[in-house]
Structure 1
Amino acid sequence: MTFSIVGRCTETGQLGIAISSSSIAVGARCPWLLPGVGAVSTQNITLPSLGPEVLALMEQGLMPAEALDKALTRNGYSQYRQITAIDHLGRTAHFSGSQTLGNHNAVSGEQCVAAGNMLANRSVIEAMVEAFEHGEGQLADRLLAAMKTAIAAGGEAGPVHSAAMVVVGELTWPIINLRVDWADHDPVAELEKLWDAYRPQVQDYIDRALAPDKSPGYGVAGDDR
């Protein structure tokens, strides 16, 4: 039903998540990030509140594994949850309950952790981790490379319909937050198109937010600068 990659860039300290699912609007429920703290993907039979709760526990100083254990114990039904986490130092943790759907797997790698359920095969997740570890470019590029590798390795057992990618840096808001809430075919490819369009504009949107009087023109009708 879902597969995801959670990662950190050692050069910039950015944290990010890329995720895809057979369900609608996966980006609305599963990826949770807090700048300077960590990133969490809560999936399978999703309890969205687990994301913010695990992040709050990590902000208090708990290791990712401790934060997952405490949040899962508090909320119950842990047998239905699949959840991954990375903190601002790149330490990771993952959990897949006994009721995780279909073929499932979760693997920690260097500065990343990937997980999925209802997979075509378990090796999909191992391929994602390897693709991220050997990827080049920005964090977002490496996250998308892992997603494309997952599709090539078989992806989900059935069709996927939504995808999302979120990246945070030093600012209090996400510097990248792209979503494909529904696509009849290949939402990961649609997500890549969004990133290709947004990549050259990322810094412009940051500059406009922080220094609108000094930022480049907005490029819209009526803007005469």
Structure 2
Amino acid sequence: MVVATFSLVARDPDTGDLGVAVASKFLAVGAVVPHAEAGVGAIATQSYANPRFGPQGLALLRQGASPEGVLEAFRRTDPGLEKRQFGLVTARGEALTFTGQDCHPWAGGVAGEGFAAQGNLLAGPEVVEAMAQTFQASRAPFPERLLLALEAGEKAGGDRRGRQSAALLVVGEGKGYGGLWDRYVDLRVDDHPEPIPELFRLLSLHRLLFGRGRPRPLKEGEIRWIQALLQREEGYEGGVTGRWDEATEAAFLRLIGRENLEERYGGGSLLDEEVLDYLKERFGWSS
């Protein structure tokens, strides 16, 4: 399995979140390359990829191994190591990138505090250099920083065979769905002529459905509009009063759940502007 690709593994110094961004001329690269665990580390395994490197490496990091210790463990247990390539970053920001001598050229990587960029079958070293420079210079939110770095690698030449798939995995303590697990961004473009732009589109949609805005009190006219909407869409039998009550909230919860926006609503007559704008566009605002 030649997972010829370019990837970035990184840690967000502000939040401690960990992530992997990857692109390749390979079907469903996100099913093979990225692995991450909050509070432990992130790993990208590629080039005749050994998918076991993900869980094995994370287990070693969980037990306190250093990045060099993980590499030595792989060297002892994998006779095909010289065909492989991987990058890892720990929850403390220690990083390592490894490229076996039998990887297809151009192959290599660069690592620094909190990140490792690597690739094989690339246009040249400028691909990983562009990823590293963009990640370090960007002040965008962490998931966007990872994608901006991936985009920079693509613009620098990317996989010299072309484009097919891309993926983004980000983990953070308690940031997953419902606060019940750590994987809060897990997006994959498995087969697409422009996988990285498509991944940006998916991240934008993810932000709408699962982001965290700043709720504000709904105005009386907005509540009236919502109540009229709920009469049409959810069988709400209360009046269009402009006052938020239990019946309004129960119907609104049904509507929000149907639109997959339940993670954006905390209850009561507080709603953030992005969700309100979405509902106005989706259902036709009338003041």
Q: Larger C-alpha radius of gyration, 1 or 2?
A: 2
Matching of residue 155 in structure 1 with residue 158 in structure 2: yes
1:187 corresponds in structure 2 to 195
Report the TM-score, using the length of structure 1 for normalisation.
Answer: 0.89
1:197 corresponds in structure 2 to 205
Aligned partners of 1:41, 1:105: CA distance in 2, in Å? 13
Shift of 1:82: 0.1
Q: What secondary structure does 2:49 align onto?
A: coil
Shift of 1:106: 0.6
Deviation string, structure 1 residues 65-109 (Cα, Å, up to 9, x no partner):
211221232122111110110000100011111111120111002
Shift of 1:201: 2.4
After superposition, where does 1:18-37 map in structure 2 within 5 Å? Answer: 18-37=21-40
Shift of 1:14: 0.4
- Report if aligned partners of 1:115, 1:125 keep a CA contact under 8 Å in 2: yes
Uncovered stretches (5+) of structure 1, i.e. residues with no partner: 205-212
2:187 corresponds in structure 1 to 178
- Report if aligned partners of 2:164, 2:194 keep a CA contact under 8 Å in 1: yes
Aligned partners of 1:127, 1:201: CA distance in 2, in Å? 31
- Report if aligned partners of 2:95, 2:113 keep a CA contact under 8 Å in 1: no
Matching of residue 168 in structure 1 with residue 171 in structure 2: yes
Deviation string, structure 1 residues 129-158 (Cα, Å, up to 9, x no partner):
000001122111100110110111111111
- Structure with more contact order per residue of length (Cα contacts < 8 Å, sep ≥ 6): 1
Matching of residue 50 in structure 1 with residue 39 in structure 2: no
Aligned partners of 2:20, 2:75: CA distance in 1, in Å? 20
- Report if aligned partners of 2:98, 2:108 keep a CA contact under 8 Å in 1: no
After superposition, where does 1:45-194 map in structure 2 within 5 Å? Answer: 45-171=48-174, 172-183=181-192, 185-194=193-202
Aligned residues: 213
Aligned equivalent of 2:257, options 206, 215, 218: 218
Aligned partners of 1:89, 1:150: CA distance in 2, in Å? 25
Could you say which structure has the higher helix fraction?
2
Shift of 1:202: 2.4
Letter aligned with residue 56 of structure 2: E
Matching of residue 17 in structure 1 with residue 20 in structure 2: yes
Aligned equivalent of 2:8, options 1, 5, 9: 5
- Report if aligned partners of 1:176, 1:202 keep a CA contact under 8 Å in 2: no
- Report if aligned partners of 1:6, 1:40 keep a CA contact under 8 Å in 2: yes
Deviation string, structure 1 residues 161-182 (Cα, Å, up to 9, x no partner):
0100000000333100000011
Letter aligned with residue 178 of structure 1: L
Could you say which structure has the higher strand fraction?
1
